[in-house]
Structure 1
Amino acid sequence: SGDGKHINLRYGCGRIMGVLATDTVRIGRLIAKSQTFVLSMNQLSGALEHASYDGIMGLAQPSLAIHGTTPIFDNLNKNRIIPEPVFAFFISSWPQKSSLLMLGGVDHAYHKGALKWVLVTQAHLWQIAVDRISMNKKVIACSGGCQAILDVGSSFLFGPTDIVRSIQRSINPSPLQNEQQLILCNSTMTLPPVIFTINGMDFPMSRKYYIQKVSKDICFITFNGGTEYISPSETWVLGDIFLRAYFTVFDQSKNKIGLAPSV
């Protein structure tokens, strides 16, 4: 069924326009009855228009939902379809191993060592405080502390444009085709890890995560600018590049995030 209310939703990669509808939604063996969602009628984005997926399932905090609607995760939790208000992501680095979204619990076989917990600092988003970002024992960003949003909907790492440009130059002093993010793959072999220090704990991210292959010889630095449009203070978005390195648990009831190296 549908109530016909028109909706205009903006995403980082574009915008969709549609109407609200309500139906039963099934995810594996989990069934969410009377679930309201948006039926997209128009996508103002090439990324959304030609995407291989059929929809977007938002997992931000319920305070960010369209007024009067209940996100699917909260619907499942409210109706006790899941045992606890926890979800987790394992984003695979290997073609032969599938990525996983876990709803209502955690399979600890997908991470190494104990989960390290960090409190969420912002009510709407899965946002945390970061102490600093360093490389080669030198602070390269977030020198006075900053905020970071963990976002599985973002592919790369995003930060303030001027800081990101400085990081790109330090990684890649001789850019290809005058494009700072393009680098010869054979010159990346000795690059050190980028270390995110969060709540006094170090989370190193090796070059195999922040450098991506474009072709046989050309690689791509996955640091991108633009977060100055999100917040006037230094803010980072840690997308799939970071979440591929770290198995991530989102605990809604305790308002905290658990991180451990992925298997």
Structure 2
Amino acid sequence: MAWILAQYYGAISIGNPPQSFKVVFDTGSSNLWVPSKKCHYTNIACLLHNKYDSTKSTTYRANGTPFAIQYGSGSLSGFLSTDEVTVGGITVRSQTFAEALSEPGLAFVAAKFDGILGMAFSSIAVDGVTPVFDNMVAQGLAQPGCQAIADTGTSLIGGPTAEVKALNQALGATALVGGQYVFDCTMLPHLPPVAFTVGGTTFTLHAADYVLSVSTINTYTYSRGNTQEGNNLHILT
């Protein structure tokens, strides 16, 4: 499923009987988390999404280890639990995941997904938790695959703050907080193409490729500035 070509997510279930969730399949992290039924009443993001209720699952096992993770778009904290996790009709037994209690900021409030299912290497998993797909292979439910790189963890193109600022100023965008920019919708037909050259190959983006239309008044640009000054990292998605 997709929302304005910026959020991509799919369905999974946790527990027996199954409790359904929509999650981002994120190649940039390794942990699975969903909102907890025990989340704080001040956690607006949790209140607006599906929540895992351990008391309703016959296969739930308590863990309780504190959990905290930081993403580029937000952070969260909670605790670990263990239960069955079903992805694409395949049920992984005894999968440890996080129940989110606190999701500060606005990043997860408007999200169309409930949680995140990390698909990266186990070496970067918080609390040393074995990722879902590693367990799937270990339990003989899937065959090990070949290795490749695909970043599904972000839908925005990013770069060093100064460079992103200069580019957006050249395009005529207005800056918002958090390194994001907006255009007046009437500008879209007049925006120039933006080209990136990677390994000698030029990729040209037109306005429809680098602008996300999120309302009838304004539209967000493609870019988000890197919040670490001096970092020369670029992300092309």
Q: Normalising by the residue count of structure 1, what TM-score does the alignment of the two structures yield?
A: 0.56
| Residue of structure 2 aligned with 1:62, choices 122, 128, 132 | 122
- Where in structure 1 do 4 or more consecutive aligned residues deviate above 4 Å? none
- Distance change >3 Å, CA 32–CA 161, structure 1 → 2: same
Question: For residue 223 of structure 1, what is the aligned residue in structure 2?
Answer: 223
- Distance change >3 Å, CA 187–CA 49, structure 1 → 2: closer
- Distance change >3 Å, CA 217–CA 66, structure 1 → 2: closer
Alignment partners' CA distance in 1, 2:200 and 2:185: 33
Alignment partners' CA distance in 1, 2:153 and 2:142: 23
Q: Does 1:74 align with 2:143?
A: no
Offset at residue 38 of structure 1 (A): 0.7
Alignment partners' CA distance in 1, 2:168 and 2:227: 16
Alignment partners' CA distance in 1, 2:187 and 2:180: 14
Offset at residue 217 of structure 1 (A): 5.7
- Distance change >3 Å, CA 201–CA 72, structure 1 → 2: farther
Q: Secondary structure at the match of 2:228?
A: helix
Question: For residue 209 of structure 1, what is the aligned residue in structure 2?
Answer: 209
Alignment partners' CA distance in 2, 1:158 and 1:10: 18
CA deviation vs aligned residue, 1:68-116 (integer Å, no higher than 9, x gap): 31111222233342344369xxxxxxxxxxxxxxxxxxxxxxxxxxxxx
Percent identity, aligned pairs only? 29
Q: Does 1:237 align with 2:224?
A: no
- Distance change >3 Å, CA 199–CA 46, structure 1 → 2: same
CA deviation vs aligned residue, 1:120-147 (integer Å, no higher than 9, x gap): 6xxxxx6xxxxxxxxxxxxxxxxxxxxx
Question: For residue 183 of structure 1, what is the aligned residue in structure 2?
Answer: 183
Question: For residue 12 of structure 2, what is the aligned residue in structure 1?
Answer: none
Q: Secondary structure at the match of 1:159?
A: strand
* AA at the equivalent of 2:116: I
* AA at the equivalent of 1:162: A
Alignment partners' CA distance in 2, 1:191 and 1:49: 31
Offset at residue 32 of structure 1 (A): 1.5
| Residue of structure 2 aligned with 1:5, choices 65, 73, 77 | 65
Counting only pairs closer than 5 Å after superposition, residues 1-263 of structure 1 correspond to structure 2 as 1-49=61-109, 51-85=111-145, 150=151, 152-172=152-172, 175=174, 181-216=181-216, 218-228=218-228, 232-238=230-236, 242=237
Gaps of 5+ in 1: 88-118, 121-125, 127-149, 243-263
- Distance change >3 Å, CA 206–CA 79, structure 1 → 2: farther
Alignment partners' CA distance in 1, 2:110 and 2:155: 16
Offset at residue 190 of structure 1 (A): 4.3
Alignment partners' CA distance in 2, 1:46 and 1:217: 20
Alignment partners' CA distance in 2, 1:40 and 1:69: 15
- Distance change >3 Å, CA 28–CA 176, structure 1 → 2: closer
- Distance change >3 Å, CA 76–CA 216, structure 1 → 2: same
Alignment partners' CA distance in 1, 2:167 and 2:117: 32
Query: Is contact 1:24–1:35 with CA below 8 Å preserved after alignment?
Result: yes
Q: Normalising by the residue count of structure 2, what TM-score does the alignment of the two structures yield?
A: 0.61
* AA at the equivalent of 1:235: L
Gaps of 5+ in 2: 1-60
CA deviation vs aligned residue, 1:43-70 (integer Å, no higher than 9, x gap): 2233325644222111223221124311
* AA at the equivalent of 2:203: F
CA deviation vs aligned residue, 1:29-52 (integer Å, no higher than 9, x gap): 122222111111222233325644
